[in-house]
Structure 1
Amino acid sequence: MKTIVCSIFFMLTSVMACTQEKTNKSLPDPSKMKNINSVPFLTRQKLFMYVDKTSLKPVINQKFKSASVFTSTGFAVVVNEKNEYAAIDENGKIVLGFSAEEINLNVINGLTFYKKDIEYEKKMPVWKWDWNIMGSGIKKEQTYHKIEIGVVESQQVLLSEDVPYLEDNYYLNFISVDETHVFWNGTLYEVKKNRLHKIENNIAELLENKRWLKGSDAEFSMYGLSQKKAIHSGLKGSETLSVQFEKEIITLNEVNKERYAPEVPKLLADNKTNDVYIFPQYEKVFPRKITKATSSQIEFIRKTSLVYSITNSPYFLLGVFNYDHDIWAYSWLYIDTEGNITDSIGSYDFKVLDRVGNLVWPDRKMILPDEFINKDWKFGKIKYYSGMDDCYLIAIEDEKQLRTIGLWNSREKIWEIKPQYYDISVLDTKKQIYALQKEQDGLYTLLDNKTKKSIGSKAYKSINSEGMVSIKNTLGETVYYYIDVYSGKEYKE
């Protein structure tokens, strides 16, 4: 756990990179989803074989040095004793052959996407040699990655490139737009017969409700999947926002300012109408006039530096950062599309996160009011994951500078998991399965938060959401194998 000072630093330097939490869940195609009954089982020879998860009888004859669980589409990654990777189906048939390239899989819209990646040294032309003036020699090679990304089912290759290390990179971050469309790497695809077909390139930002932004010559246009013409065009970025109150024009000169300019500005102004659309979804126009506000609210607005559009609501979020070291956080007001200012609004499924995923809005006082805290508590990170509803992981430092974390239910105003743990890992938000670590460097145990009961009787050095755990054996070696995180059943001899 990082200190509260680190959390504050990120709020100061990175809050303007906050984004609305995006669920980006895949839309499963039931015809492509499989009932997976096979799991990797660790033998006494320290090799993995696939067995039926109920009977533990082998279902695939081969044994592997390492093996993953099967995806919902029926594929897994295995490693042989030569440290070569391959992908297999449920029958053990190889669908991506063994090679030194590391393989990762991800399922979106019922399709299995793969990434092959290997690092190597590439000889460079003389003008790209690294000449060391201190006399330690000339480096004639550079580290590169060979990357291939494609679709397992159709063997379609979407990308095959050699990229310099720490420069460009590509990820399996495909996003489901609807049942037949996915977005990846700036491109919108239509899915037909397990193949992806490009229908739009050079997308700068994917938005909700099947919309996206494209940029050209510092101007942006908004498009929708069902519209042939642009929804909005001639949108230009701005860091200035003006609003009228009575006879005064209040001009905010540095709104949503960031250390590094984003590809899509947080404010987009229409050249023809002067309407301003606000990040993250640019779905409604900021009001030109304030129709109702108190004098203190107007003074607050003059200092506003953060303006976000709260989606699926008529409101915009207005933020002023308080640099008082006793507070060191944002204060908030809200304005609706009619120009009415209010101090608070109802509950909306909208989150503002910083670069590292910590919660900025709603803030701690909205989630955990002062009447429920000890007066000596100080607060660090607040984390939220999609599917946790009204529950938040809150880091606390007490008067003895002991740092712990707990799970707070903001609706019920109770600690679902009391702040008595060094770490809490979220394994399944829907079924409320958590891994708890009592002390630093301690072991993790499983908790079913719905029943408030421990799962299994074992503790582990690590546990991930797929059920892979690690332990130290009697020789001091780290051993990895799989368990069922819902029952605690172990898959090993």
Structure 2
Amino acid sequence: MKIIIFSFFFVLTSITGCTQEKKDNSTLVSSKNKMVNSIPFLTKQKDFIYVDKTSLKPLTSQKFINASTFTPTGFATVENEKNEYAIIDENGKIVLDFSPQTISLDVVNGLTFYKKEIEYEKKMPIWKWDWNILGGDIEKEQTYHKVEIGVLESKQILLNEDIPYLDDYFYLNFISVNENHVYWNGTLYEIKKSRLNKIDNDIVELLENSRFIKESNKTYSIYELNNKKAIHNGLNGIETLSIQFGKETITLNAINKERYEPEVPKLLIDNKTNNIYAFPQYEKVFPKQIRKATSSQIDFIKKTSLIYSITNSPYFLLGVFDYDDDVWAFDWLYIDTKGNVVDNIDTYNFKVLDQIGYLVWPDAKMIIPHQYIEKNWKVGKINSYEGMNNLYIIRVEDVSKKLRMKGLWNKEKNTWEIKPEYYAITVLDAEKEIYALQKEENSLYTLYDNKNKKNIGSKSYKSINSEGLVNVKLNSGEDIYYYIDIYSGKEYKEN
């Protein structure tokens, strides 16, 4: 049984991601985090007010047409009757004034980052008009978006730009390097008194263990934080690799070939030493010769098209793209830094994903043994998210019934935590194993506590997100949104 990773029309280059599970580091500076005990509450008048989660007692007299939950740092976004957006603190004080710009928040290292954005039509000078000669129309305006990104606590503005709609787009995707440093938009920052100070830029890839890659004219260098001298310098991207086996030189062509050129090549070579470093962490040298391998393993290696470094191990992953019936699949071998080839290795905290987030490695054979797959079943796509550990959401097709359903498999116990009887399984809290289950397509979602093996509450919803925002259709046909406690099912709305 091979894991199906994409259909016939996709190619090997669909594999774009490797992930290694990490603990959530978005709130490392715990002293800045607050015990938030307030929640948006929907009134009969369809306004939101903030109430105490336990007593439901109103905390302020303020009313909003939309309101978010509070961040761990104590801030929320709200919308007024004019469709303007603002940020308030837990006392209801406005800390970022109302404006037509939509607002997003994210917390990293105990700091609250905000993004304000609005789309508008901008009048252009005559030399930038879009002349449609055949249609007779002249477009004198272009769509722009105005973006502001900053730190809420210090009011520091990191970016404030007006950008053509089809040009650069800026995301609120700050990444914690350690408790005193964050990475964003190609720049490494040090945190001092709730402000970000630039310490390095032109970074194209952030690696583990406070390492990062810089690029200049298609030449790459790997650095460590607080070390101005590069660990590896003058690296170039390659797609061809040669490895010695006895007197034979095995040349592998089109390794890690991408449909779209990645920002950092998946293989980097040091032209001075001929050392080759592999994606995703580029942390160890690929062996220059094979010391131990069988003849069948050598035949496999000659067809290899994917080489990834398995992080926190001495191994590299070797993949051969194989065509089996009407689906694409991978077969695998492994080689260590000394050049020893093996068919199997121990499980490592390392995953390979395809471009839309489905699991490729470890594959189905490693996750669900053949004896647990029923006669008419075909194992399909697999999902695994940060914090799920040995739990995997697996799609199973009953070939005889032509029915595709999802279940939650426990790899450690070799058992179904949730039997494959659901159209959709949504992870709301991976650590506490809280899920939203949808029995059939277009049916409603229910809350499920997998640790305690019980349903949560008695209600069902059109949608549920991890913050507890649910969507319900009333008897009148109107859709309403309000919040619930995903751990108890308690609803924060007026009956």
CA distance in structure 2 between the aligned counterparts of 1:385 and 1:252, rounded to whole angstroms? 33
Shift of 1:228: 2.3
Aligned match of 2:146: 146
| One-letter identity of the residue aligned with 1:394 | I
Aligned match of 2:455: 454
Structure 1, residues 18-60: CA drift from partner, whole Å, max 9, x if none? 2234646324212101000000000000000000000000112
Aligned match of 1:437: 438
TM-score relative to the length of structure 2:
0.96
Matched ranges for 1:462-481 at <5 A:
462-481=463-482
Shift of 1:69: 0.3
Q: What's the % identity of the aligned pairs?
A: 66
Return 393-402 or 464-473, whichever deviates more: 393-402
Please state if 1:349 is matched with 2:313: no
CA distance in structure 1 between the aligned counterparts of 2:234 and 2:84, rounded to whole angstroms? 51
| One-letter identity of the residue aligned with 2:65 | K
Contact 2:377 2:397 in 1 (8 A): yes
Please state if 1:89 is matched with 2:86: no
Aligned match of 1:247: 247
Q: 1:379 to 1:12 in 2, by over 3 A?
A: farther
CA distance in structure 2 between the aligned counterparts of 1:214 and 1:22, rounded to whole angstroms? 24
Structure 1, residues 85-122: CA drift from partner, whole Å, max 9, x if none? 00000000001100000000000000000000101111
Please state if 1:8 is matched with 2:39: no
TM-score relative to the length of structure 1:
0.97
CA distance in structure 2 between the aligned counterparts of 1:419 and 1:139, rounded to whole angstroms? 54
CA distance in structure 1 between the aligned counterparts of 2:323 and 2:69, rounded to whole angstroms? 48
Structure 1, residues 172-210: CA drift from partner, whole Å, max 9, x if none? 110000010000000000000000000001101110000
CA distance in structure 2 between the aligned counterparts of 1:367 and 1:113, rounded to whole angstroms? 38
What's the secondary structure of 1:392's corresponding residue?
strand
Aligned match of 1:20: 19
Matched ranges for 1:320-339 at <5 A:
320-325=320-325, 328-339=328-339
| One-letter identity of the residue aligned with 1:443 | L
Contact 1:288 1:339 in 2 (8 A): yes
CA distance in structure 2 between the aligned counterparts of 1:220 and 1:191, rounded to whole angstroms? 26
Return 210-219 or 281-290, whichever deviates more: 210-219
Aligned match of 2:64: 64
Shift of 1:324: 2.4
CA distance in structure 2 between the aligned counterparts of 1:386 and 1:5, rounded to whole angstroms? 22
Aligned match of 1:262: 262
What's the secondary structure of 2:106's corresponding residue?
strand
Aligned alpha-carbon RMSD (Å): 1.5
Contact 1:16 1:257 in 2 (8 A): no
Shift of 1:124: 2.1
Contact 1:280 1:308 in 2 (8 A): yes
Aligned match of 2:384: 384
| One-letter identity of the residue aligned with 2:225 | L
CA distance in structure 2 between the aligned counterparts of 1:354 and 1:150, rounded to whole angstroms? 33
What's the secondary structure of 2:25's corresponding residue?
coil
Aligned match of 2:295: 295
Structure 1, residues 354-407: CA drift from partner, whole Å, max 9, x if none? 111111111111111222112322333211100000111111221222111111
What's the secondary structure of 1:299's corresponding residue?
helix
Matched ranges for 1:27-426 at <5 A:
27-135=27-135, 137-325=137-325, 328-399=328-399, 400-426=401-427
Contact 2:282 2:309 in 1 (8 A): yes
Structure 1, residues 243-283: CA drift from partner, whole Å, max 9, x if none? 11011111101100111111111111012111000000000
Q: 1:5 to 1:228 in 2, by over 3 A?
A: closer
CA distance in structure 2 between the aligned counterparts of 1:109 and 1:25, rounded to whole angstroms? 7
Q: 1:12 to 1:21 in 2, by over 3 A?
A: farther
CA distance in structure 2 between the aligned counterparts of 1:376 and 1:194, rounded to whole angstroms? 58
Shift of 1:13: 5.1
CA distance in structure 2 between the aligned counterparts of 1:187 and 1:215, rounded to whole angstroms? 12
Return 319-328 or 194-203, whichever deviates more: 319-328
Return 203-212 or 128-137, whichever deviates more: 128-137
CA distance in structure 1 between the aligned counterparts of 2:8 and 2:88, rounded to whole angstroms? 45
Structure 1, residues 389-444: CA drift from partner, whole Å, max 9, x if none? 01111112212221111111111111111110011110000100000000111100
What's the secondary structure of 1:297's corresponding residue?
helix
CA distance in structure 2 between the aligned counterparts of 1:347 and 1:216, rounded to whole angstroms? 37
Shift of 1:143: 1.3
Structure 1, residues 308-360: CA drift from partner, whole Å, max 9, x if none? 00000000000001112256200000000010000000010000011111111
CA distance in structure 2 between the aligned counterparts of 1:185 and 1:464, rounded to whole angstroms? 28
Contact 1:103 1:115 in 2 (8 A): yes
Return 352-361 or 325-334, whichever deviates more: 325-334
Contact 2:13 2:257 in 1 (8 A): no
Return 120-129 or 384-393, whichever deviates more: 120-129
What's the secondary structure of 1:208's corresponding residue?
coil
Corresponding residue pairs, total? 490
Q: 1:385 to 1:5 in 2, by over 3 A?
A: closer
What's the secondary structure of 1:290's corresponding residue?
coil
CA distance in structure 2 between the aligned counterparts of 1:406 and 1:296, rounded to whole angstroms? 36
Q: 1:136 to 1:391 in 2, by over 3 A?
A: farther
Contact 2:5 2:381 in 1 (8 A): no
CA distance in structure 1 between the aligned counterparts of 2:312 and 2:487, rounded to whole angstroms? 35
Shift of 1:15: 3.2
Structure 1 residue runs of 5 or longer lacking an equivalent are none
Contact 1:245 1:289 in 2 (8 A): yes
Shift of 1:298: 0.2
CA distance in structure 2 between the aligned counterparts of 1:247 and 1:46, rounded to whole angstroms? 78
Contact 2:387 2:430 in 1 (8 A): yes
What's the secondary structure of 2:324's corresponding residue?
coil
